[in-house]
Amino acid sequence: MSSSSLRDKKEDGEKINKWGLRWIEWIRGWWQIVSEIFFQRIMASHLENPLSLPPLNDLTCIITGSTSGIGLQTARQLAESGAHVVMAVRNTKGGHELVQNWQTEWAGKGLPLNIEVMELNLLSLDSVVRFAEAWNARLGPLHVLINNAGIFAFGEPQRFSKDGYEEHMQVNHLAPALLSILLLPSLIRGSPSRVVNVNSIMHTVGFVDTEDMNVNSGKRKFSSLVGYTSSKLAQVMFSSIFHKRLPAEAGINVLCVSPGVVHTNVARDLPRIVQAAYHLIPYFIFNPQEGSRSSLFAATDPQVPEYCSLLKADDWPVCAFISHDCRPMNASEEAHNIATANRVWEKTLEMIGLPPDAVEMLLEGEEVQCRYGLKQD
Ligand SMILES: NC(=O)c1ccc[n+]([C@@H]2O[C@H](COP(=O)([O-])OP(=O)(O)OC[C@H]3O[C@@H](n4cnc5c(N)ncnc54)[C@H](OP(=O)(O)O)[C@@H]3O)[C@@H](O)[C@H]2O)c1
């Protein structure tokens, strides 16, 4: 399959539905989502909760969106295992309050937690550049970047960031992509290092039209579901190309995880009836600690780099994808569309204001100019 836009697909005579997928792919995607909701607890029954982590005193980790839900649990558990944790958050006051509470509860159990808060607002690409510049200026290593922050503004009207991008696409894909690339100098210093993207099983019903990343050309009708699923698929495609472009010697692995269906603030915009269902079926839905296991596993398990390297050596088209049960899973069929993935890569770099060879330049130790980061918010 080589086409990358709805128009190409239609001209190729492919039978696709209004979401941009073939019916069989779309049904398979929904089947995977429903299975995850009802069977995730059974599939993950071999896992402990909380996931036990080795001592992580030598690890420096940045976690975006760690004031709530999965990210909050991920940050806390990494810090309690000894890692130096940087909470990259938009609500810095909330972040500092959390750190204070955690330190108080941790008192007497060991050395104070090595945790700090830095400001990052993914709705502003200027903010992303400022964060990366501030971090890189320390000239220290970064071992793990967890792109966790995300939004699913269910049922909300379409909104655009001040950078002009559809908000799901910006927060869930574009801003984390920019952050990951700009932090390469620190990831190189921390090598072997990892970029863990908190993705979703919902990518399986996503479709990315690279000619209409904002879903505002009129070719597809926007809904928050379209916005969310496209952004998550774009992230898998971008991560796959990113991982491929990093030579094995760089020792940096890029992967995606699905946390499962988790009761967090992500449900804040869901209709009341769905929120009620979240409360009614707690047996099926993970709590945030359970939902943090795939991120923690991807960030710390010693076998993960080996698995990622195997995929790279085999020329597998998609980066590693770790499921809610901490086992490898296959991303959607559409995610294997290399032509579209390459287009997503190129389009993303253009949108985030980086040159096409930004990764290669940073690997060579050269400076890269980004269109963003010059303005204050
Ligand atoms: N919960 C699920 O069932 C589920 C399933 C699949 C995937 N996921 C993914 O898991 C990740 C974590 O979500 P969650 O379920 O833990 O949701 P959550 O409780 O709503 O947490 C999301 C975090 O992202 C932050 N965030 C949102 N917009 C931001 C922005 N513009 N700049 C910086 N930070 C921002 C939020 O900060 P504020 O506190 O300031 O709003 C919050 O800390 C997301 O990527 C989500 O797509 C969740």
Chain-wide mean pLDDT for the chain?
Answer: 93
- Identify the domain containing residue 40 by its residue range: 7-363
Pocket probe mutation, ligand 1, options 62, 70, 118, max atoms within 8 Å of Cβ: 70
Atom of ligand 1 nearest to the CA of 152: 47
Atom of ligand 1 nearest to the CA of 232: 47
Confidence grade of residue 376 (pLDDT, cut at 50, 70, 90): low
Q: Mention every residue, 6+ apart, whose C-beta is less than 8 A from residue 107.
A: none
- For residue 22, the model assigns a pLDDT of 85
Q: 215 lies in a domain? A: yes
Question: Residue 262 Cα, ligand 1 centroid: separation in angstroms?
Answer: 11
Rg of the chain, C-alpha, whole Å: 20
CB 20 within 8 A of CB 220: yes
Distance CA 242, CA 201 (A): 20
- For residue 1, the model assigns a pLDDT of 45
Q: 321 lies in a domain? A: yes
Atom of ligand 1 nearest to the CA of 70: 16
Instruction: Report whether pLDDT(131) > 90.
Output: yes
Q: Can you read off the two tokens belonging to residue 101?
A: 């509470």
Query: What's the pTM value of the predicted model, to 2 decimals?
Result: 0.95
Of the residues 165, 228, 278, 372, only one is catalytic, namely 228
For 247, what's the count of Cα atoms within 13 Å in the CB-facing half-sphere? 7
Confidence grade of residue 8 (pLDDT, cut at 50, 70, 90): low
Q: 371 lies in a domain? A: no
Q: 122 lies in a domain? A: yes
CB 228 within 8 A of CB 168: yes
Q: 369 lies in a domain? A: no
Q: Mention every residue, 6+ apart, whose C-beta is less than 8 A from residue 86.
A: 60, 61, 62, 63, 115, 116, 117, 118, 135
Identify the bridge partners of residue 88 per DSSP, sorted by sequence position: 64, 118
Q: What is the CATH number of the domain that holds 71?
A: 3.40.50.720
Question: Residue 264 Cα, ligand 1 centroid: separation in angstroms?
Answer: 8
Instruction: Report whether pLDDT(109) > 90.
Output: yes
| Strand duo 320-322 + 144-147: pairing | unpaired
Q: 184 lies in a domain? A: yes
* 177-189: average pLDDT: 98
Q: 373 lies in a domain? A: no
The rounded percent of the chain whose pLDDT value lies above 70 is 93
Question: Residue 198 Cα, ligand 1 centroid: separation in angstroms?
Answer: 9
Distance CA 344, CA 68 (A): 29
Distance CA 31, CA 9 (A): 24
Identify the bridge partners of residue 64 per DSSP, sorted by sequence position: 88
Tell me how many domains the chain contains. 1
Q: Is residue 228 among the annotated active site residues?
A: yes
Atom of ligand 1 nearest to the CA of 199: 7
**What are the distances in angstroms from CA 180 to CA 46, 289, 325, 356?**
32, 25, 25, 15
Quote the crossing angle between the two packed helices 175-182 and 224-245, to the nearest 10°: 20
Q: 174 lies in a domain? A: yes
| Strand duo 252-257 + 144-147: pairing | unpaired
In terms of Cα–Cα distance, which of 339, 345, 341, 305 is closest to 322?
A: 305
Tens of pLDDT along 26-52? 999 999 999 998 899 999 999 999 999
Distance CA 89, CA 119 (A): 5
Phi, psi of 283 (to 5 degrees): -60, -40
**Within 6 Å (CB) of ligand 1, which residues are found?**
64-65, 67-71, 89-91, 120-123, 148-152, 171, 198, 200, 259, 261-262, 264-266
Number of other residues whose CB lies within 10 A of the CB of residue 220: 17
